Amino acid sequence: MSEWHSVDTQSEDPSSRVIPFPSGASTPQIAFDRTELRTIFNLYGRRVAEGEWRDYALDFRRDKAVFSIYRRSSEMPLYRIEKDPKLARRQGAYAVIAASGLVLKRGHDLARVIAALEKPLRAV
């Protein structure tokens, strides 16, 4: 005849306890909105058509959103377009940063900031 034993939860192995995964609702992510992405992708599309850029990556973190631009996907990004709301009141939430880490332009208006990546007009 088998005998049933009660299991004491206090003495069980601590590695077998189930710990709930924290929900992401308490920590909001920073992201580009639809109009910001449209502005960025308009520039990106033109430069892809010219054959200069070939890949991109989006990174949404707790503190900032980053759009990285690559010539080839195996390289480091040529440029990063960053949105950092903590800097919105001071220097501006948007920045274009070169591969070397140099901030090319920073400001409050995304269209003006990414204009630093536009090719200068040439006389023909």
Q: pLDDT tens digit string along 76-117? A: 899 999 999 998 888 889 999 999 999 999 999 999 999 999
For residue 102, is it within any domain?
Answer: yes
Q: What mean pLDDT do residues 62-82 have?
A: 90
- Nearest-angstrom CA–CA distance, 109 and 95: 10
What backbone torsions phi and psi does residue 91 show, to the nearest 5 degrees?
-95, -20
32-36, Cβ contacts within 8 angstroms, sequence gap of 24 or more:
32/58, 32/65, 32/67, 32/83, 36/83, 36/110
- Nearest-angstrom CA–CA distance, 118 and 104: 12
Split into its structural domains, the chain has a count of 1
Confidence at residue 8, expressed as pLDDT on a 0 to 100 scale: 53
Tell me the residue type at 6. Answer: S
For residue 16, is it within any domain?
Answer: no
Element (H, E) at 95: strand 94-98
For residue 21, is it within any domain?
Answer: no
For residue 23, is it within any domain?
Answer: no
- Compute the mean pLDDT over every residue in the chain, rounded to the nearest whole number: 84
What percent of the chain clears pLDDT 70, i.e. is strictly above it? 81
For residue 44, is it within any domain?
Answer: yes
Confidence at residue 13, expressed as pLDDT on a 0 to 100 scale: 67
For residue 17, is it within any domain?
Answer: no
For residue 5, is it within any domain?
Answer: no
For residue 14, is it within any domain?
Answer: no
Confidence at residue 18, expressed as pLDDT on a 0 to 100 scale: 75
Q: Are 58 and 73 in contact, with CB atoms under 8 Å apart?
A: no
Q: Which domain holds residue 82?
A: 28-117
* pLDDT above 70 for 38: yes
